[in-house]
Amino acid sequence: MVAVVASWGSSQNERTQEFQVRGHWTLNQLDSALQSDLGYHPIIPLSFWAKNIGYPQVKACRLLIKPHSHWWNLLQDLRANRGQTHNWVLHSGWHLAKISQSLSQCIDADSAEIASVLNDELGLEPWNVNSHTWPALFIPNTYNLSASTHAFGLIERMKRESDVWWTTERLEKASTQGITPVEAVIIASIVTKESNKADEYESIAGVYLNRLRKGMKLQADPTVNFARGKIARVRADALSIESPYNTYLHEGLPPGPICTADPRAIDAVLNYKKHDYLFFCAKIDGSHRHHFSKTFEEHKRYARAFNRAMNEREKNR
């Protein structure tokens, strides 16, 4: 940032602030935003000086405004950041609220706009996704985004990136497993929420693929948590929550991914080699790993031990 010049025509902010400039603003709207957000009330508005130094059109960017910044500093920063970009890091396990909030710091849309677009059934049609399946386009990675990107432009970018990630080899593997890419991501999103141990991903993915092929319900606890909107121990009373995402009630896959799926989990689904496991249960040793079982009787023994351990821990809190 250019050094602060405290004089006529300076903003009244007392601390460094982030200031989001929207690309659809006119210069007069920029004046109004500076007045309301930063207490900037010059005798001659910034828009006058902007036109005279060759900044005729507002460009989206995010600025760090230092205390009492002079109008000249503001204009220099606006000009310098006309082509601003941000590296947006998309993490595994994110939901709509986190994605919208994080993106609002990088592109020319606030979190409400982004959420609205991702829930717009008609608007999402050109990308062959809907309000449930759009997370399948969001492959966790680092993306360099222009600050002028609008919400629909973001979807277009994510679609292009997804198409690149889904190589011919990955598409063929999905076909071999008898699932579509979106279905692979749905399964992988559940796997992502089931374990933070990547070396277990293929085994867990295999359990769900085995269950699907046998016509069994998935009975995946993370889908219950998604349905009720919170992460907590899944007890018997939660299993009856009415939601298409509750895989204890409904057969088959839920209507969409329950989070952004770890790419390693997607590859685990695609690379699954046959095993006979149909169940798994968390170990009680605190390792965050799982016992895998072929029979319900074996699984019940692990489940009883796990529930006893959890009840004891809760009692001692």
Q: What confidence tens digit (pLDDT) does each residue in 119-168 have?
A: 999 999 999 999 999 999 999 999 999 999 999 999 999 999 999 999 99
For the chain, residues with pLDDT lower than 50 are 1-8
Q: Where are the domains of the chain?
A: 17-80, 85-165, 172-275
**pTM exceeds cut of 0.95:** no
Partnered with residue 62 across adjacent β-strands are 20
Q: What confidence tens digit (pLDDT) does each residue in 208-251 have?
A: 999 999 999 999 999 999 999 988 888 888 888 999 999 999 99
pLDDT at res. 156? 96
